[in-house]
Amino acid sequence: MRQFVQSLRLWFAPQRIGDEGETPDYRFSLANERTFLAWIRTALALVGGGFAVDQFLPDLRWAVRVGLSLALLAAGVLCALRAVNHWIRCERAMRRGEDLPVSRFPAVLSLTVAVVAVAMVVLVVFGRAG
């Protein structure tokens, strides 16, 4: 828990990460930042998809539409939060000369998107129940 709180503090004061270890090759830090930005783009796409399902599929039953929308919106929120957490953890590991952290989050995100996509395929194939 203590490490999570330290990591959370770094979200809002990233300059403090300079106090740890040695400065890594700037190319690695920039690659870490590009990865962060890719996760943020993914989060924005998920949020946009959640709103699109809600706004552009009015023929779906309310519970189905809201369920799919909330799944995509929740995945977007988690993706954005995970992006900054992973960026900090990787930057810290590079400065300390440690192995980069591993995460199950990509698998969880992929499964969530896959479940929503399968649900959408079923809706398209079998028609929209009103």
The pLDDT of residue 71 is above 70 = yes
Indicate the SS3 state at residue 1: coil
- Mean pLDDT (the chain) is 89
The pLDDT of residue 44 is above 90 = yes
The pLDDT of residue 29 is above 70 = yes
The pLDDT of residue 17 is above 60 = yes
pLDDT confidence tier of residue 128, bands split at 50, 70 and 90: low
What's the token pair of residue 83?
Answer: 């992006």
Higher pLDDT, 127 or 114: 114
pLDDT number for residue 86: 93
Q: Both ends of the chain: CA-CA distance in Å?
A: 47
DSSP H helix total and E strand total for the chain: 4, 0
pLDDT number for residue 73: 96
The pLDDT of residue 129 is above 70 = no
- Beta-carbon contacts of residue 17 (< 8 Å; ≥ 6 apart): 10, 88, 91, 92, 95
pLDDT number for residue 31: 95
The pLDDT of residue 100 is above 70 = yes
